[in-house]
């Protein structure tokens, strides 16, 4: 029998009856690799840092034998964001809009299937954010991360903690992820409510969908999003 012992931070990924002990026994299989065993215990490799056998780090492809005890550590935070930015699973649309509000490149569509998400992540060098462990365990996935939390505030806090990305609020369209560019007031007048027309002078416009943004309307919302995320970060990490 092989035993996979996980760090307390990863225990929630084990089936409920193994969580208190933080260890899951698995049937012995001489051919099973470390990577296979960790995932068989329920932990996607995207969530894993070092794996130790008798205290020494071992590679994912190592075959630890029939009576091994593996110790699994969580991925070290923060991780760099891949050059292409983020790609979000279908169910994470609210999180995608929040990342975009903070200026982060966050691709998302509401009808992508699993194979096309894996393909897009590889083709565009993006990290796939999802809450679907099966998707993260797909062999072809290059970069993935399991998003913690059921509420968007918690999810955002988790992503900001995991990747610590540089934020650039109001540089990206929350609706379509397109970059924003400054727009002369005269060109956007027709799209404005009378109150905004009177009181706001500086505008940005999405280079893709032409939606108009200005600080007055969005700054308060962005401040609230950042505040909520950072306030939750401490409570969330390690739990
Ligand atoms: Zn847009």
Which two structure tokens, joined as six digits, stand for 79?
């991780």
- Topology (CATH level 3) of domain 2-74: Ubiquitin-like (UB roll) (3.10.20)
Write the pLDDT tens digit of every residue in 102-119: 999 999 999 999 999 999
Phi, psi of 39 (to 5 degrees): -70, -35
Distance (angstroms) between ligand 1 centre and the Cα of 212 equals 8
Ligand 1 centroid–CA 227 distance in Å is: 24
Q: What is the strand order of the sheet 56-57 is part of?
A: 23-26, 2-6, 69-74, 48-53, 56-57
Q: Taking the domains of the chain in order of start, what are their residue ranges? A: 2-74, 78-239
pTM of the model: 0.91
Contacts of 124 (CB under 8 A, 6+ apart): 84, 87, 107
107 Cα–ligand 1 center, Å: 12
pLDDT tens-digit readout, 184-228? 999 999 988 898 888 888 999 999 999 998 877 667 777 787 777
CA distance 89 to 110: 8
């Amino acid at each position: 029998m092989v035993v996979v012992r996980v760090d307390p931070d990863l225990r929630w990924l084990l089936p409920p009856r193994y969580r208190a002990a933080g260890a899951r026994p698995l049937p012995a299989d001489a051919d099973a690799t470390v990577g296979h065993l960790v995932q068989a215990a329920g932990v996607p490799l995207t969530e894993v840092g070092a794996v130790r056998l008798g205290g020494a780090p071992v590679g994912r492809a190592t075959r630890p034998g029939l009576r091994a005890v593996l110790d699994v550590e969580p991925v070290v935070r923060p991780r760099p964001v891949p050059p292409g930015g983020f790609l979000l699973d279908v169910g994470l649309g609210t999180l995608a809009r929040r990342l975009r509000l903070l200026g982060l490149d966050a691709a998302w569509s509401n009808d992508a299937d699993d194979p096309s998400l894996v393909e897009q992540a590889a083709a565009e060098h993006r990290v796939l954010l999802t809450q679907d462990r099966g998707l993260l365990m797909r062999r072809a996935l290059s970069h993935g991360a399991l998003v913690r939390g059921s509420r968007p505030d918690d999810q955002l806090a988790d992503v900001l903690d995991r990747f610590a990305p540089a934020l650039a609020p109001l540089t990206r369209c929350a609706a379509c992820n397109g970059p924003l560019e400054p727009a002369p007031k005269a060109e956007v007048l027709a799209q404005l409510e009378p109150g905004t027309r009177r009181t706001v002078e500086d505008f940005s416009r999405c280079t893709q969908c032409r939606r108009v943004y200005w600080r007055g309307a969005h700054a308060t919302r962005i401040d609230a999003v950042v505040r909520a995320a950072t306030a939750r970060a401490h409570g969330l990490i390690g739990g």
